[in-house]
Amino acid sequence: MFETFNVPGLYIAVNSVLALAAGYTTSKMTGVVVDVGDGATHIVPVADGYVIGSSIKSIPIAGKDVTLFIQQLMRERGEKIPPEDSFEAARKVKEMYCYTCSDVVKEFNKHDKEPGKYIKHWRGIRPKTGAPYSCDIGYERFLGPEVFFSPEIYSSDFTTPLPVVIDKCI
C-alpha cells in the first residue's frame, strides 16, 4: 500500500508528544499536555519527547460534561429549546461561544452591567417540525468551562480542580 501511494515513510508517535511538538516553534519537547476529550481528560507530562507514564493523571470531567452542564443551565433558566434538540444546541453553544475567565465574580459583574454586550443569541430549527426557535446565551458562556476549575458546581462526585491535578502531575 505504501508503494501504491508513494508514501516515503511513516512516523508513529503518542498524540500528546505530537501536540507538544505542534505547539512549539523550537525543538523543545518538554511540557505538560492537557488532553480534553469527550469522555475523559488526561494530563500527560512529557520530558525530552518521552511520555512519563507513571505521572499521567486523568479526571472524569470532559467535553461532554461541559455540554451537559450548559444544557442544564439553559433548562434551569427556562430557555425554550425543544427537548430533542437541547443537547445538540448546548454542544453548539459550547463550541461557538464558551470561554474561560480568570475571575468568575468579575465576569458575573461584567455580564450584569452590560448584558447587551455579552449575551449572545442562538437560533436553531426544530428537528422534527422545521420550525425555528431562539434562545439567549449568557452566563453559560463562562460557567460551562468553569467545571474544570470549580468542579463542585457540576457534580459532588469529583471536586479536585484541574490546576491541582496538573500540579500533582508535575
Ranges under pLDDT 50 in the chain? none
Q: Which of 1, 74, 61 is nearest to 35 (CA)?
A: 61
Do 19 and 94 share a structural domain? no
Question: Is residue 144 one of the residues assigned to a domain?
Answer: yes
> Which CATH number belongs to the domain containing residue 75 in this structure?
3.90.640.10
Q: Which of 118, 122, 38, 39 is nearest to 82 (CA)?
A: 122
* pLDDT of amino acid 26: 67
Question: Is residue 69 one of the residues assigned to a domain?
Answer: yes
Range of the domain at 46: 15-60+159-169
**Grid coordinates standing for 72?**
442544564
Helix axes 86-97, 63-76, angle to 10 degrees: 110
Burial of residue 45 (number of CB atoms within 10 Å: 0-12, 13-18, 19+): buried
Do 128 and 73 share a structural domain? yes
What's the maximum distance between 2 C-alpha atoms anywhere in the chain?
64
* pLDDT of amino acid 25: 64
Q: Note the pTM of the prediction, 2 decimals.
A: 0.86
Q: In this structure, how many other beta carbons lie within 10 angstroms of the beta carbon of residue 101?
A: 16
Do 124 and 75 share a structural domain? yes
Alpha helices in 5-125 (DSSP H): 15-23, 63-76, 86-97, 104-113, 115-118
* pLDDT of amino acid 18: 86
Do 129 and 69 share a structural domain? yes
Do 165 and 131 share a structural domain? no
Question: Is residue 5 one of the residues assigned to a domain?
Answer: no
Do 46 and 19 share a structural domain? yes
Could you give the number of structural domains in the chain?
A: 2
* pLDDT of amino acid 10: 82
> Which CATH number belongs to the domain containing residue 35 in this structure?
3.30.420.40
Do 140 and 97 share a structural domain? yes
**Grid coordinates standing for 170?**
508535575
Chain-centroid distance of CA 73 in Å reads: 16
